[in-house]
Amino acid sequence: MHVLNSDHLFSVCHQRAFRLPFGAKVTFSWGAEGFDRVIDPKPPTDLSPRQRQRFLKAYLAARQDFLSDLAAMLGGPVAILDEMGLHTSRPEARQ
């Protein structure tokens, strides 16, 4: 599978899409070129503070879900550093 990222193609090892509030969708991808995310369509700019918080909460939950999937797939911890800080996930411990 290949994904278009910044006008070039890269191989994708894992990709997953999530619905967000206000008709948006975020697609997270991870592969040889690293981590990528695309939000489509872009969220409206005229959201109230409460609506922005709702959108951000849904986005962060989707990203954490993707990171959990990725950690399980890789069999070890993963970390993403972005404009909102460092986010980590470890695979679930088997009982």
pTM of the model: 0.78
What is the rounded CA–CA span in Å between residue 68 and residue 52?
24
Contact 20, 29 (CB under 8 A): no
Residue 33, CA distances (Å) to 21, 39, 66 in order? 29, 18, 17
- Tens of pLDDT, residue by residue, the chain (95 residues): 333 444 444 455 889 999 999 999 999 998 887 888 999 998 888 999 999 999 999 999 999 999 999 888 888 888 888 787 888 888 876 54
